[in-house]
């Protein structure tokens, strides 16, 4: 009996090492190409967005006297220089619509989105005369396309001069008057959307309202960003509102796109956890067969471990081609079929389709499926382990283990001639 236990332990250790190698291979496949795949997604779809408020300014000629000495004589000359005078931003009314669209590359899903941006900004001319004001809108990123562009001043179109990451237009604004700039576009981005007030610096914001609508309910905000003052639910999404009368802050407004279940990392974590599932299965098989006097040779345990390993090996390469849920069902069915069809020949159909199939379903399928529930995996497995311990303790409480492990007497030699 002791040698058999040692052999089973050795088989378990070799299987655990194989799962460790498989898990490391999955993570290597997943993240070694992540940078290149992410660059491809950015190229095809767009980079993360960080929108900033537009700016308005006019140029003014400033005359100053400059003193110099030439040939021992003091000279005074007049120079003119252009200085840029910014117009204060009096109010901001912004509408943002986010539509989530996941895209898969390799073993990872990327949280891509479509964004519809519209803003109405009021700038006041503090000059005592009419000025030719230049309005400039910086785009959130150069790695994106911008369609359906709107850029008007007091509802009038202006000629635009576009640069790599910005567009600008000029309009005449009367003394003390307020000009209303309307901007808007449709674009696409990746992972998160942000709105910054002062380029990372502490900025003052007056009469500000940003209304964001999403087509997803699982909203989350980046670290170091402002929480919305309101976030009511809508049909299939959320409406979030940030409203401030006079805000002084260095924080931004942001939204993190919900992540889809990642097939690569999930398959890797399940593979690393597989030795725990096999331990419980071996433990239960050993207890049941010992109690019933069923002979399972270490070679039988080896093939059972191989059937368990087939689940994770097939899952590692199947998630590249089908949904993680479909792959999980297929791999579970294949592994359970291998165990049942094998034990049917070794022990019998009743044991194979009964205790063995049930134990494999619990410790391989259900324990692995617990990884689909973010934050509840450890609790689910712990509860399952405690229930298993309780059941085994109750079933074996009256078993005389000394008798079970006692060496069987040798059969008498056949003396017949």
- CB of 11 closer than 8 Å to CB of 301: yes
Last residue of a domain, one of 256, 271, 297: 256
Give residue 406's pLDDT: 67
Give residue 409's pLDDT: 58
Q: Does 38 map to a domain?
A: no
Please report, for residues 14, 15, 20, 30, 404, the alpha-carbon distance to residue 275 in angstroms, rounded to integers and kept in the order given.
10, 7, 9, 22, 27
Same domain, 205 and 320: no
Q: Does 380 map to a domain?
A: yes
Give residue 413's pLDDT: 54
Q: Does 94 map to a domain?
A: yes
Same domain, 251 and 265: no
Same domain, 27 and 89: no
Do you know the residue count of the chain?
417
Same domain, 136 and 194: yes
The DSSP string of 279-315 is: HHHHHHHHHHHHHHT----HHHHHHHHHHHHHHHHHH
**Alpha-carbon 77 to chain mean position:** 64
Residue 178 structural domain: 45-256
Is the dihedral angle over the CA atoms 312, 318, 323, 327 positive or is it negative?
negative
Last residue of a domain, one of 256, 272, 291: 256
| Angle, alpha carbons 100-103-104 (nearest 5°) | 150
Last residue of a domain, one of 209, 239, 256: 256
> What distance in Å separates the CA atoms of residue 173 and residue 148, rounded to the nearest whole number?
26
> What distance in Å separates the CA atoms of residue 417 and residue 401, rounded to the nearest whole number?
40
Please report, for residues 27, 30, 216, 273, the alpha-carbon distance to residue 262 in angstroms, rounded to integers and kept in the order given.
11, 10, 18, 17
Please report, for residues 118, 146, 179, 181, the alpha-carbon distance to residue 157 in angstroms, rounded to integers and kept in the order given.
16, 18, 13, 10
Same domain, 251 and 277: no
Give residue 398's pLDDT: 78
Q: Does 412 map to a domain?
A: no
Same domain, 248 and 274: no
3-state SS class at 206: strand
- CB of 140 closer than 8 Å to CB of 167: no
Same domain, 181 and 273: no
With a cut of 70, which residues of the chain have pLDDT below it? Answer: 1, 33-35, 71-72, 199-200, 404-417
Q: Is the pTM of this model over 0.75?
A: no
> Which of 361, 362, 341 shows the shortest CA–CA distance to 352?
341
Same domain, 268 and 252: no
Q: Does 37 map to a domain?
A: no
Same domain, 250 and 272: no
Same domain, 229 and 361: no
> What distance in Å separates the CA atoms of residue 209 and residue 264, rounded to the nearest whole number?
40
Cβ neighbours, 10 Å, residue 315: 25
Cβ neighbours, 10 Å, residue 377: 18
Same domain, 23 and 112: no
Taking only the tens place, the pLDDT of each residue in 255-310 is 999 988 888 888 999 999 999 999 999 988 888 888 888 888 999 999 999 999 99
Give residue 245's pLDDT: 92
Same domain, 162 and 70: yes
Q: Does 40 map to a domain?
A: no
Q: Does 39 map to a domain?
A: no
Q: Does 161 map to a domain?
A: yes
Give residue 135's pLDDT: 96
User: How many domains is the chain partitioned into structurally?
Assistant: 2
């Amino acid at each position: 009996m002791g040698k058999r236990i040692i052999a089973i332990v050795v088989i378990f250790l070799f299987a655990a090492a194989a799962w460790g190698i498989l898990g490391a291979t999955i993570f290597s496949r997943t993240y070694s190409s992540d940078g290149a795949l992410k660059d491809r997604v950015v190229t095809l779809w767009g980079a993360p967005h960080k929108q900033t408020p537009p700016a308005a300014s006019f140029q003014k000629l400033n005359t100053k006297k400059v003193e110099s000495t030439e040939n021992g004589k003091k000279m005074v000359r007049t120079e003119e220089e252009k200085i840029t005078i910014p117009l204060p931003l009096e109010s901001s009314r912004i509408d943002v619509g986010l539509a989530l669209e996941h895209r898969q590359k390799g073993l990872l899903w990327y949280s891509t989105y479509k964004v519809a941006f519209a803003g109405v900004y009021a700038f006041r001319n503090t000059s005592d005369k009419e000025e030719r004001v230049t309005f400039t809108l910086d785009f959130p990123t150069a790695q994106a396309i911008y369609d359906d562009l709107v850029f008007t001043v007091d509802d009038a179109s202006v000629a635009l001069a576009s640069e790599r990451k910005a567009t600008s237009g000029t309009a005449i604004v009367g003394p003390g008057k307020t000009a209303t700039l309307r901007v808007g576009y449709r674009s696409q981005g990746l992972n998160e959307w942000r709105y910054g007030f002062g380029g990372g610096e502490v900025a003052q914001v007056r009469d500000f309202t940003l209304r964001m609508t999403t087509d997803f309910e699982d909203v989350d905000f980046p670290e170091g960003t402002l929480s919305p003052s309101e976030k009511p639910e809508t049909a299939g999404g959320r409406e979030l509102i940030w409203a401030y009368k006079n805000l002084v802050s260095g924080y931004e407004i942001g939204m993190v796109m919900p992540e889809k279940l990642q097939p690569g990392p999930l398959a890797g974590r399940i593979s690393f956890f597989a030795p725990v599932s096999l331990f419980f299965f071996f433990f239960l098989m050993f207890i049941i067969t010992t109690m019933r006097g069923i002979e399972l040779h270490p070679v039988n345990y080896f093939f059972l471990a191989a059937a368990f390993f087939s689940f994770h090996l097939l899952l590692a390469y199947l998630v590249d081609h089908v949904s993680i849920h479909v792959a999980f069902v297929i791999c579970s069915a294949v592994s359970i079929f291998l165990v049942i069809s094998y034990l049917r020949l070794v022990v019998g159909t009743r044991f194979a389709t009964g205790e063995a199939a049930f134990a494999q379903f619990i410790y391989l399928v259900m324990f692995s499926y617990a990884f689909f529930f973010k934050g509840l995996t450890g609790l689910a497995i712990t509860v399952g382990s405690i229930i298993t311990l309780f059941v085994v303790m109750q079933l074996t409480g009256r078993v005389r283990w000394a008798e079970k492990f006692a060496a069987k007497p040798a059969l008498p030699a056949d003396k017949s001639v």
